[in-house]
Amino acid sequence: MVVSLSRQGNVGIITVDHPPVNAISAAVRAGILEALAQAQADGALEALVLAASGRTFMAGADITEFAKGPAGPTFHEVCQALEAAPKPIVAALHGTAFGGGLELALCCTARVAVPSAQVGLPEVKLGILPGAGGTQRLPRLVGVAAALDIIVSGDPVAAPQAAKAGVVDALIEGDLLAGAVAYAQSLLAKGQPYRRVRDITIDPESIPADFFAAARARFAKERRNQFAPQKIVDAVEAAVVLDIDAGLERERALIAECFVHPQARALQHVFFAERQVAKIPNLAKETQSRPIAKVAIIGAGTMGGGIAMNFANAGIPVTLLEVSAEGLERGLGVVRKNYEASAAKGKLTAAQVEARMAHITPTLAYSDLADADLIIEAVFETLDVKRQVFQELDKVAKAGAILASNTSYLSIDTIAQYTTRPADVVGLHFFSPANVMRLLEIVRGEKTAPDVLATSLELARRIKKIGVVAGNCHGFIGNRMLEGYGREANLLVLEGASPAQVDKVLFDFGMPMGAFAMSDMAGLDIGYRSRKERQLTNLQARAGRVGDKLVEAGRLGLKSGAGFYDYAPGSRTPMPSDATAQIIAQVQAGEGISARKIDDQEILERCFFALVNEGLKILGEGMAYRASDIDIVYINGYGFPAYRGGPMHWAENAIGLKTLLERLQHYAAQTGAPWWTPAPLLERLVSEGRSLASI
């Protein structure tokens, strides 16, 4: 029974029981209607409570039903039944009353919640909008501006704040059900008429004339290229200009537009992909994670300090080791500065800053790492230094400790060989700034034990990262794909496009910034050093020629005030540079290249198809478990727009694998460059008519 009706005296309790999150499936909607009808017919019942069992009140519509299309009673029917009920109904909220769950609660007479509960309308994160009256009822309760922010952000609101805003009528300390029953009794004592949210009117005069135009302009910038936020503005505007029933009808039309937009499919793909990454194929169910009670970080530089913060933030004691007292002091100083910056923004209290700093214990002695359950090194990126560190760790780390490297491209297998316990060695590749970026690549070595992978994935969740398992290839998943993207951007500039033209195409597509603005921000000397270390073919080296010349001219990017772009003193705004144009012309002359006009479509195809082709090679080589894992890497580590689903979802759904293959073959024929050879997996999928999900 997904919905049951029980009785406590004269109060009926409708309880939804549809684990894990009481998603509102067709059966739940039918069950609520059935229980409502029974309760209304039961003369002994004078009031009702709508509650849910398990860890949360209804957390929204059942997303797994979206692809199947509508079935069973609609949300609208359930909302109407709740609002038409002559007996007062109190919604009892705990956990995350999200989406349709909150919307049903808004149709009840009142809402009570435990202080730890959260309410929210996260539909926008799925590319849709609240379709069960949320865009009409919430503005009536909290006001148009506040409602718009809650709905467009999709972010949760803690129950105490929701109570202040008027969404929750009472906070219940102690037993929620008892509190809800008592509240229902208090409504009976007050007697009719019971206020219904739908009866609250919004005075159009109270809304500034340009409010919605300004909202559209704001979200066109803040939620660039995104469809649902604009439709949310339309829906909330309807709550002001139409009566409730017309407004509800308008909302239903608007969510229908969203459901069929490619961005909705993309974002729903991302929702499930984010949960798939934690599933390791063929991992025995009984695999136990190793307990991680204490962590140690080696290296208190930018990365080491940022990594340490993740654990301190999660309340996990972390020992931070450096080779010098100055280095340690400097590293701790940076960590404290980061925390104090958060405190200045009101994100942390001074006490929380001290508590987090107290979780970090500095040391200069390897012996202090002996009781750590996990040790992560974030030292200089050379194998020689890694060897010294891991040989030392092999001596001091306790049996069963996980030994992790934060390397961004060195071989985990090589590093594991520096120890007598390769099964305990794994890559934990954080992205800079490590205390901010959500992605954590968990690099599986040849000998990495399965429970080490499982432990790493669990730990990722604990420190609010999204962990993705990557194979041990050069660049793992993200950086390996980035290489092709950056190479094409540079070659396009060599062939006649300007850095600004390339960056505009990439930015307009939805990347947070273009390739050259990103290189300037990261520092051109990083690529310069890497190119010098590797034996590049002439064709590969060509892509780096302009970057090399810029570095040799002292133009290292933002940090030197000029790179591909010029920067006014103190400004981070990239400005096209004549100096760079001259360097490009010199390199073109040296390479015998005569610049040609390049259209935006070629720029888009070459940068993103190179990225996707590499992703398909990674998938085909088993360096990623799923195409959707690669999407999660690129969205969370490199800012690929989630509303396009990630590079692999975009390639398959917006371009089509057949077209992609044809274009790769075109560029391979045009350039003769080996990297345009289509991934073997792509050729197989196209010839067999299979999808990426079939792998």
Contact yes or no for 393/419 (Cβ under 8 A) = yes
Residues 6+ apart with CB under 8 A from 424: 400, 401, 402, 403, 449, 452
Q: Name the 3-class secondary structure at 564.
A: coil
Element containing residue 71 per DSSP (H, E): none
Nearest 10 degrees: Cα torsion 565, 568, 574, 580: -10
- Given the rule CB under 6 A, which of 16-24, 159-167, 416-424, 637-645 is the region that contacts ligand T1G? 16-24
Identified binder of ligand T1G from the candidate list 122, 422, 557, 678, rule CB under 6 A = 122
**Cβ distance to ligand T1G smaller for residue 126 or 481:** 126
Measured from the CB of residue 274, what is the shortest distance to ligand T1G in angstroms? 8
Nearer to ligand T1G, 100 or 304 (CB): 100
Report the residue from 90, 132, 295, 426 that binds ligand T1G according to the rule CB under 6 A.
132
424-453 binders of ligand T1G (CB under 6 A): none
Amino acid (one-letter) located at 665: Q
**Smaller CB separation from ligand T1G, 64 or 382:** 64
Q: How far is the CB of 122 from ligand T1G (least distance, A)?
A: 4
Nearer to ligand T1G, 209 or 260 (CB): 260
Sheet holding 374-377, edge to edge: 360-363, 318-321, 295-298, 374-377, 402-405, 425-430, 439-444, 466-471
DSSP one-letter code for 72: S
Nearer to ligand T1G, 70 or 315 (CB): 70
CB of 152 vs ligand T1G, minimal distance in Å: 14
Give me the least distance between CB of 276 and ligand T1G, in Å please: 7
From candidates 3, 21, 159, 642, binder to ligand T1G by CB under 6 A: 21
Write the DSSP string, 257-322: HHHTSHHHHHHHHHHHHHHHTTPPTT--TTPPPPP---EEEE--SHHHHHHHHHHHHTT--EEEE-
Which residues in 48-107 contact ligand T1G (CB under 6 A)? 59-64, 75, 96, 98-100, 103
Closest separation between CB of residue 233 and ligand T1G, Å?
A: 16
> Which region, judged by CB under 6 A, interacts with ligand T1G, from 20-28, 377-385, 471-479, 505-513?
20-28
- 3-state helix, strand and coil shares in percent for the chain, rounded to the nearest 5: 55, 10, 35
Would you say 21 or 389 has its CB closer to ligand T1G? 21
What are the Cα distances from residue 102, in Å, to 87, 159, 167, 669?
20, 12, 9, 56
- Pick the stretch among 121-129, 163-171, 321-329, 605-613 that binds ligand T1G (CB under 6 A): 121-129
Cβ atoms of 50 and 105 within 8 Å: the answer is yes
Cis status, amide bond into 115, omega within 30 of 0 = no
Least Å distance, CB 59 to ligand T1G, is 4
Q: Which of 123, 424, 495, 602 binds ligand T1G (CB under 6 A)?
A: 123
Site pattern 271..300 for ligand T1G (x: CB under 6 A): ----x-------------------------
Nearer to ligand T1G, 131 or 362 (CB): 131
CB of 67 to ligand T1G, least distance (A): 11
Q: How far is CA 90 from CA 110, 178, 201, 512, 518, in A?
A: 5, 12, 22, 44, 52
| CA angle in degrees (0–180, nearest 5) for 91-97-98 | 135
Task: With CA atoms as reference, report the closest residue to 57 among 85, 110, 99, 27.
Answer: 99
Contact track, ligand T1G, 236-275, x by CB under 6 A: ---------------------------------------x
248 or 295: whose CB is closer to ligand T1G?
A: 248
Nearer to ligand T1G, 61 or 505 (CB): 61
In angstroms, give the least distance from the CB of 622 to ligand T1G: 23
Closest C-alpha to 452, from 424, 419, 428: 424
Which range of residues in 118-126, 429-437, 533-541, 623-631 is near ligand T1G by CB under 6 A?
118-126
Distance separating alpha carbons of residues 422 and 416, to the nearest angstrom: 5
What part of residues 464-503 is at the interface with ligand T1G (CB under 6 A)?
Answer: none
Select the residue whose beta carbon is closest to ligand T1G and give its number.
60
Opening angle at CA 450, ends 448 and 452, nearest 5: 70
CA distance 493 to 475: 24
**Are the beta carbons of 25 and 153 closer than 8 angstroms?**
no
Q: Which two tokens stand for residue 663?
A: 């274009």
Which sequence positions are flagged as catalytic? 103, 123
Which range in 46-54, 124-132, 289-297, 544-552 contacts ligand T1G by CB under 6 A? 124-132
Closest approach, Cβ 267 to ligand T1G, in A, equals 10
Picking from 391, 399, 406, 332, the residue whose alpha carbon sits closest to that of residue 371 is: 399
* Burial tier of 384 (Cβ tally within 10 Å: 0-12, 13-18, 19+): exposed
Q: How far is the CB of 254 from ligand T1G (least distance, A)?
A: 11
Size of the site for ligand T1G (CB under 6 A): 24
Q: Which of 2, 3, 14, 23 binds ligand T1G (CB under 6 A)?
A: 23
Residue whose CB is less far from ligand T1G, 23 or 309:
23
Please, what is the minimum distance in Å from the beta carbon of residue 103 to ligand T1G? 5
3-state secondary structure 328-390: HHHHHHHHHHHHHHHHHCCCCCHHHHHHHHHCEEEECCHHHHCCCCEEEECCCCCHHHHHHHH
Residues 6+ apart with CB under 8 A from 299: 321, 322, 377, 378, 379
- DSSP class of 624: B
Q: Which is nearer to ligand T1G, 501 or 628 (CB)?
A: 628
Closest C-alpha to 98, from 56, 67, 66: 56
126 scored as a contact of ligand T1G (CB under 6 A): yes
Binding site for ligand T1G (CB under 6 A): 20-21, 23, 59-64, 75, 96, 98-100, 103, 122-123, 126, 128, 130-132, 134, 275
